Structure 1
């Protein structure tokens, strides 16, 4: 069997195919780019399949921090993280679900929302890997 990575999903109107045949010329960074792309696709889709009111979660996120232009100070970051981890935030999550596991799921999503609003990336972007590959190739010429 040949080496390859294939990701295919079809559910209702969602259809995606991402694949890569791997041979002796395939660089590891190309594999990383595909895996990051699959990761991005899956993580963006997960909330749609959860049984929670995601609009309410975004309202909670807005109460913690709304993205703004300009530099964010360390004090602001500390204050936002304090709000994110506060019992008040946990109580607000109770309005969405009382399940302990449900709150853990929502907290993970909320953490990602807030960290990304703060400009703190929580995963590797396939676009950044793509730029890295392009820059590496142009500097090797």
Structure 2
């Protein structure tokens, strides 16, 4: 069973913000002639790499709840210019919306078992998802 990572999406107000940021970064790489890949750099490298890249995802917490995920493709530990160990989480640039799941803020990232991960939204690929405010309200009422 794949293992996932849970992380705060700092600086994003919405899933659309994240999608726009990814598109801008990929476009910058194309124009610079750099390899066109999407990754997120983090301080700590996960130890359970095989479980993570065997179908795992990075689940993003935006505005107090898990709202989307990106498939993990590769994990690349490295040492930065200051000699600090870091890690690139190489991600599929496609953002998959998930059911809204409330989460408190924390530093860094956490492992997320597949059994605890929110389900993908039906119709997420076609753009037919429910507005966030309505999903939150229904979740609070116990209807989602």
Fold agreement, TM-score > 0.5: no
Instruction: Please state which band the TM-score falls in when normalised by the shorter chain.
Output: under 0.3
Q: TM-score, normalised by structure 2?
A: 0.25
The structure having more radius of gyration, on CA atoms, is 1
Structure having the larger proportion of residues in helix? 1
Q: TM-score, normalised by structure 1?
A: 0.25
Structure having the larger proportion of residues in strand? 2
